[in-house]
């Protein structure tokens, strides 16, 4: 599903050049649930941004579902993001003047789906995260965990190939974190490929594979015995 070869990325910081990714080789197969771990500054967010087409690598190749991701203009990148990827952020990033339902329906709007279909799908995915009866509420009326569940529903609504979650539990307490991880595991069980960036070991242990990043290189890549979140919920 994801094929990365010798990926390099550096940022210009004034006169200094900061080499963030120093040759990443990494592949993810369909249906995997991968945790990307590392301390801050290890390059894990940069890697996720490149995977999410929010940023572009300097050198190296990136194939997503066998499509080369290189030299995309903004319009094309937007199209690919919409088609291939679902995003879940640490700070939820819901549009605050739109209801939960409207937030979930937004990616479908950019897929030019009909209004009726958008609403139906949005309700379906809200139901999947257990928030069907909160459809008409604004984000300000939801708890942190509920917001993240709406964000997950939104990421899934466009039926992406890969779900990218950047510290999805970073802003949540541990009980709520496990609830969110339970949902993520449930989605993965249905076959969706998911990448989770986290620095919490207990969250990483709930994935099937852990990739450790340090100073811009992968120092460890191991399969783990998945801890089910449902036992804590």
Beta carbons of 151 and 88 less than 8 angstroms apart: yes
Q: Quick one: 53 exposed, middle or buried, by C-beta within 10 A (0-12, 13-18, 19+)?
A: buried
User: Does 109 help bind another protein (rule: CB under 8 A)?
Assistant: yes
Query: What are 152's two structure tokens?
Result: 């997950």
- Per DSSP bridges, beta strands 162-166 and 85-88 are parallel
Residue 163 makes contact with another protein by CB under 8 A: no
168 binds another protein (CB under 8 A): no
CA distance 22 to 136: 46
Size of the site for another protein (CB under 8 A): 30
Chain mean position to CA 173: 19
Among 10, 111, 119, 226, binds another protein (CB under 8 A): 111
Considering the complex, what minimum distance in angstroms separates the CB of residue 135 from another protein? 16
CB of 181 to another protein, least distance (A): 20
Half-sphere exposure of 135 (CA within 13 A, CB side): 14
Using CB under 8 A, pick the residue from 67, 95, 219, 224 that binds another protein: 95
Minimum Å gap between C-beta 49 and another protein is 5
Closest distance to another protein from the beta carbon of 155 (Å): 9
**Residue closer to another protein, measured from CB, 168 or 185:** 168
Phi and psi torsions of 60, nearest 5°: 105, 170
Is residue 203 part of the contact set for another protein (CB under 8 A)? no
What residues numbered 34-93 form the site for another protein, per CB under 8 A? 49, 52, 54-55, 74-75, 78-79, 81-83, 87, 89-91, 93
Mask for 128-157, x = binds another protein (CB under 8 A): --------------------------x---
Cα-based angle 127, 131, 134 (whole degrees, multiple of 5): 125
By CB under 8 A, is residue 199 in contact with another protein? no
Cβ atoms of 139 and 92 closer than 8 Å: yes
Q: Residue 96 and residue 118: Cα distance in Å, rounded?
A: 19
Considering beta carbons, is residue 108 or 206 the nearer one to another protein? 108
Nearer to another protein, 116 or 222 (CB): 116
Helix axes 100-110, 74-84, angle to 10 degrees: 120
CB 35 within 8 A of CB 204: yes
Q: Return residues touching another protein (CB under 8 A).
A: 49, 52, 54-55, 74-75, 78-79, 81-83, 87, 89-91, 93-98, 102, 106-107, 109-111, 115, 154, 158
């Amino acid at each position: 599903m994801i094929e990365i070869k010798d990926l390099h990325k550096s940022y210009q910081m004034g006169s200094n050049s900061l080499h963030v990714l120093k040759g990443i080789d990494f592949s993810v197969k369909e249906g995997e649930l991968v945790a990307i771990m590392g301390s801050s500054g290890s390059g894990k967010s940069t890697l996720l941004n490149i995977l999410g087409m929010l940023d572009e690598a300097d050198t190296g190749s990136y194939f997503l579902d066998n499509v080369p991701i290189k030299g995309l203009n903004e319009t094309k990148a937007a199209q690919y993001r919409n088609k291939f990827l679902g995003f879940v952020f640490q700070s939820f990033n819901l549009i605050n003047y739109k209801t939960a339902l409207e937030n979930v329906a937004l990616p479908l709007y950019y897929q030019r789906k009909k209004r009726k279909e958008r609403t139906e799908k949005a309700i379906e995915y809200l139901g999947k995260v257990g928030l069907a009866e909160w459809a008409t509420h604004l984000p300000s009326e939801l708890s942190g965990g509920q917001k993240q569940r709406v964000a997950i529903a939104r990421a899934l609504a466009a039926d992406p190939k890969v779900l990218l979650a950047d510290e999805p539990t970073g802003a949540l307490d541990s009980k709520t974190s496990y609830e969110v991880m339970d949902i993520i595991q449930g989605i993965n069980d249905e076959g969706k490929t998911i990448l989770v960036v986290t620095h919490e070991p207990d969250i990483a242990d709930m994935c099937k594979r852990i990739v450790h990043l340090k100073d811009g290189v992968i120092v460890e890549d191991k399969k783990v015995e998945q801890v089910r979140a449902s036992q804590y919920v």
